[in-house]
Amino acid sequence: MKLQEIKNKLHSLANPEIAKHAQRYFKTAPGEYAAGDIFLGIRAPQLRQLAKEYKTIEVTEAEELLKSEFHEQRALALLILVLIFAQANETIRLQIYNCYLSNTKFINNWDLVDCSAEHIVGKFLADKDKAILSQLACSNNLWERRISIIATFHFIRNKDFTETLKISEILMQDKHDLIHKAIGWMLREIGKRNLKIEEDFLITHYKNMPRTMLRYAIEKFPEEIRQQYLKGTIE
């Protein structure tokens, strides 16, 4: 069975030193946002290469891998699902989309969200009703909220900014800095494609934005303009 082969391969690549660093970097200590997560110690490029090798497994096998206690197994599952989704027909895409949203409790760190949400949720919803994103944005689950905004990256890449701005407003006063960073990042991506739309949004909201969100959004602005935003003097 391919699934056991994949797990054996991952365990053979495990590196305790990398795992130790990852435990700190991804905030796995008690009380932190990824408390209790377990790492094997495998770097992202290795996981991406493995995803290419095993992209022919069944969606159900990838789903089982997604439920692993090991972070890298969950990451690999998501990378595989992204690759399958990219080449799949609409029936398989719906299966992957439903699998994804049914298993958000396992998509439980920012890297897992960021490597998958736009490519699965965003891409699936591109020509469909997007109300689910507003529902996710109102979730008590941090990662579902992050999925809601990162999924809109797919729309941004296609110069459709409406949903990103809508979700940004819903999440504007979120308490978690991982949401602040995600929104700021998406606003910055809008600005790369249409600076006026980003600036119009910022003028309306920047005085009420969490500081981290604003800093991420204006990161690429000229220093003089950045300082005006940060000092609250731009109109």
Q: Residues 113-148: pLDDT tens digits?
A: 999 999 999 999 999 999 999 999 999 999 999 999
pLDDT of 209-233, one tens digit each? 999 999 999 999 999 999 999 999 9
Q: What's the rounded mean pLDDT across residues 99-114?
A: 98
**CATH code, residues 116-235:** 1.25.10.90
Mean pLDDT value across residues 168-177:
97
Q: Is 209 exposed, middle or buried (0-12, 13-18, 19+ CB in 10 A)?
A: buried
Given a cut of 90, is residue 82 above it in pLDDT? yes
For residue 1, pLDDT beyond 90: no
CA distance 188 to 27: 25
- Percent of the chain having pLDDT more than 90? 98
Place 234 in a pLDDT band, splitting at 50, 70 and 90: confident
Q: What is the pTM of this model?
A: 0.96
Residue 126 CA to residue 69 CA, distance in Å, equals 32
| Three-state SS annotation for the chain | CHHHHHHHHHHHHCCHHHHHHHHHHCCCCCCCCCCCCECCCCCHHHHHHHHHHCCCCCHHHHHHHHCCCEHHHHHHHHHHHHHHHHHCCHHHHHHHHHHHHHCHHHCCCHHHHHCCHHHHHHHHHCCCCCHHHHHHHCCCCHHHHHHHHHCCHHHHHCCCCHHHHHHHHHCCCCCCHHHHHHHHHHHHHHHHHCHHHHHHHHHHHHHHCCHHHHHHHCCCCCHHHHHHHHHCCCC
Residue 207 predicted with pLDDT over 70 = yes
Enter the tokens of residue 14.
């495990």
**SS3 state of residue 38:** strand
Query: What is the C-alpha to C-alpha distance for residues 181 and 171, in angstroms, rounded to an integer?
Result: 11
Mean pLDDT estimate for the chain: 97
Q: Where in the chain is the domain with CATH 1.25.10.90?
A: 116-235
